[in-house]
Amino acid sequence: MTATSLQSQALRLPRDLALITVVISAVMLFVSMAARLLPDSPDSQQLRSAYALPGVWIPMVCSIAMGWVLSAAIAWCHGRNALERRGAGSVARLPQPRLRYAAAYVVVQLLNAYALSPLLYDLQLLFMPGGRFHESLGFTSMSAAMPVFVFLQSVAQLIVLVLGIWLSAWIALRGARAETEGSTGAHGDEAIHWAPPRRAVALVAASVFASLQMWSGAVMSRWSSVAQDMNAAQLLVAWVVPPLAAFGMAFWGTWMGAAPIVSRVRPFRAMGASVLAFVLVQLLCIAAGLAWLSVAFSLHGFNSSPGSLIGFALMLVLLYILCTVLLTRAITRGLYRRYL
């Protein structure tokens, strides 16, 4: 195999890592669901009845899709980061990086499914009503304890996802030595600029931002019973439109912040800009909402009329749009200033 073909394979490594991540996750999900829903499985009939409800399968499918998008984005970032920092020639000399990544990721997924998840569940039971440490937290009811554990469990799952992909990528990509600038030559420069950097930065940031938006929505939905009164069409709109809108706004803001002349993707800077913008947007919207309610209550008393609620919702929506676009633009411009 020629050096050109090896470097061409190296250029496809980020895309391949993302595809491998999604395929393995999909296969393991299919196997897990099949084992639960087979007629001979315990409680299979009850599970099939539950999964047939729109209030169950719509949030579940959207949450799974969110996890796959986020996983693919993180895996792509590891591959792209290796290309930019080590050079395509160095990455091309790695021994079977795709196979090593797939094997490591399968092991990580199995450990998560059969070791870590049951351990976290058993730990959660210790602090729930009837558990050994329930009284030490001061909770008096299930309704007081569940929001805390739902949030902590969601955070733990997110951390496990990120660390699992990092570990798999580290195993797959270790061993490549960074090449000197003179040894990369024309092929190295071509490798770095193969994908338009500005578009790649915007796609990574928007994917991460939308995934975090979906993740926060999934967390909040477990605390609220509002979704129980929605039909299938309303649930689809509630679960699909917000992350798509967040993706579009984050893409727009990051596109403006990256500028046309950005010279490197530096994918983890794009991820960092997206996460920081997401956190700041949520904090600003929460602060603005509390300030609005405080002023409205002090001036007119609490007013729950439809007009007041619609005005409050429109204010939050406009503030969210404005903050998302401006903050992603400003943070991206700041983090990529040295590459503009």
Q: What pTM, to 2 d.p., does this model score?
A: 0.88
Give 147-171 as a DSSP string.
HHHHHHHHHHHHHHHHHHHHHHHHH
CA distance 95 to 174: 10
Residue 139 to residues 24, 111, 218, 286, 313, Cα–Cα distance (Å): 40, 32, 24, 26, 32
Instruction: Give the Cβ contact number of residue 140 at 10 Å.
Output: 11
CA distance 211 to 225: 22
**pLDDT for res 192:** 47
CA distance 84 to 98: 18
**pLDDT for res 340:** 67
In 3D space, the residue among 324, 311, 328, 332 whose CA is nearest the CA of residue 245 turns out to be 324
**pLDDT for res 190:** 47
Instruction: Give the Cβ contact number of residue 66 at 10 Å.
Output: 21
Residue 302 burial (CB < 10 Å; 0-12/13-18/19+)? exposed
Task: Tell me the helix, strand and coil percentages in the chain, rounded to 5.
Answer: 85, 0, 15
Tens of pLDDT, residues 47-56 = 888 888 888 8
**pLDDT for res 187:** 42
Regions in the chain scoring below 50 on pLDDT: 178-193
Instruction: Give the Cβ contact number of residue 256 at 10 Å.
Output: 17
DSSP state of 112: I
**pLDDT for res 298:** 75
Residues 117, 298 contacting (CB under 8 angstroms): no
Residue 265 corresponds to which amino acid? V
CA distance 66 to 97: 26
Structure tokens at 74: 């993180």
Structure tokens at 105: 């990721």
In 3D space, the residue among 64, 110, 125, 89 whose CA is nearest the CA of residue 9 turns out to be 89
Alpha helices by DSSP H, 224-305: 232-258, 267-300
Tens of pLDDT, residues 78-107 = 999 999 988 888 898 889 999 999 999 999
φ/ψ of residue 133, rounded to 5: -110, 20
Residues 6+ apart with CB under 8 A from 333: 257, 258, 259, 340
**pLDDT for res 119:** 82
Residues 189, 257 contacting (CB under 8 angstroms): no
